Amino acid sequence: MARDNLEKNLSELLDLSRKLREANKDLRSKNSKLNMENKNLKEKLELTKNKIENLITKLEST
């Protein structure tokens, strides 16, 4: 009976471990995609900032 309990607990732990590894893998993948998206948005923001600064400079010189 104790052995059955132990086997059941071990099986549950192994199942939980597998699920957590899968969830961790998914989260790492999502994190990587979000980091790439963040990098791209920062680059777009910098380009837009530069364009606006150039427009302001042109307006000030006229």
pLDDT along the chain (62 residues), means of 10: 93 99 99 99 99 98 89
For 40, the token pair is: 């791209």
Instruction: Report DSSP letters for 4-57, one per residue.
Output: HHHHHHHHHHHHHHHHHHHHHHHHHHHHHHHHHHHHHHHHHHHHHHHHHHHHHH
pTM to 2 decimals?
0.74
Domain boundaries, the chain: 1-62
In the block, which residue shows the tokens 């920062």? 42
Distance CA 56, CA 54 (A): 5
